[in-house]
Amino acid sequence: MKILILNALKEWILKAFSPEKWKEIAESSGLGVEQFREGDKVFSDDRFALLVANLSHLLDMAETEVVEQFVHYWMTDFAPRIYSYYLKKSATAKEFVLGIFQMNNLLCKLFPNNHLSKVDYQEIDRYTLTAVYPTEKALVDIVAILRGVNQQFTDRFTIRKINPHSVEIMFEKREEV
């Protein structure tokens, strides 16, 4: 999943700054400039910290500003395309939901910011997930996304609000073939 974040960072730098700036950042961070190398696909947290520091230095911006601008780009330009990627990749609604939760949490870990909140989720059994959000607004946003997703798959799920910060997602039980 980290390769998606690297792709988003590269795209953001190319669009917001320049190919020359991307080359400078990629080279200083040990990344493939034109194309990511095999080693870039297993990108450690330490390398991400170095990358963010390099971004800050080479873009002449505070790290918090780099994170804010990147996360804004992620949410407005990149994330909508990720949803379609996960829709194509996922065979079931549950796979899609878990993929989105995992990507969201990875982004929050690598780029702590005020725009995204970590989702604490737990798989209760094969058919049930619970998810806890730090704010009611985050819960409303994710429920809206989930309701839209429910129309994209043949397997269906229901969403039940447990309290202002958590939901239970129950997937239909399907007969095993």
Among the candidates 83, 101, 121, a domain finishes at: 83
Tell me which residue range forms the domain holding 76: 2-83
pLDDT in tens, 129-164: 999 987 766 666 666 667 767 777 778 888 888 888
Task: Answer yes or no: is 33 within a domain.
Answer: yes
Cα–Cα dist 131/123, whole Å: 9
Number of domains in the chain: 2
**Residue 52 is part of a domain; what is its CATH number?**
3.90.1520.10
Task: Answer yes or no: is 63 within a domain.
Answer: yes
Instruction: Decide: 96 and 34 in contact? Cβ < 8 Å.
Output: no
Task: Answer yes or no: is 177 within a domain.
Answer: no
Task: Work out the mean pLDDT of the chain and round it to a whole number.
Answer: 85
Structure-token pair, residue 158: 């229901």
Beta strands in the chain (DSSP E): 120-125, 128-132, 157-163, 166-171
As a whole number of angstroms, the longest Cα–Cα distance in the chain is 58
Across 135-162, b (16+ Cβ under 10 Å) vs e yields eeebbeebbeebeebbeebeeebeeeee
- In this prediction, residue 100 has a pLDDT band, given cuts at 50, 70 and 90, of confident
Q: Are residues 6 and 73 in the same domain?
A: yes
Structure-token pair, residue 61: 């911006």
Q: Beta partners for 158?
A: 170
pLDDT in tens, 36-73: 887 777 778 888 888 989 999 999 999 999 998 998 89
Q: Are residues 23 and 76 in the same domain?
A: yes
Q: Are residues 70 and 116 in the same domain?
A: no
Sign of the Cα torsion 40, 41, 47, 51 reads positive
Task: Answer yes or no: is 104 within a domain.
Answer: no
Q: Are residues 76 and 134 in the same domain?
A: no
- In this prediction, residue 177 has a pLDDT band, given cuts at 50, 70 and 90, of very low
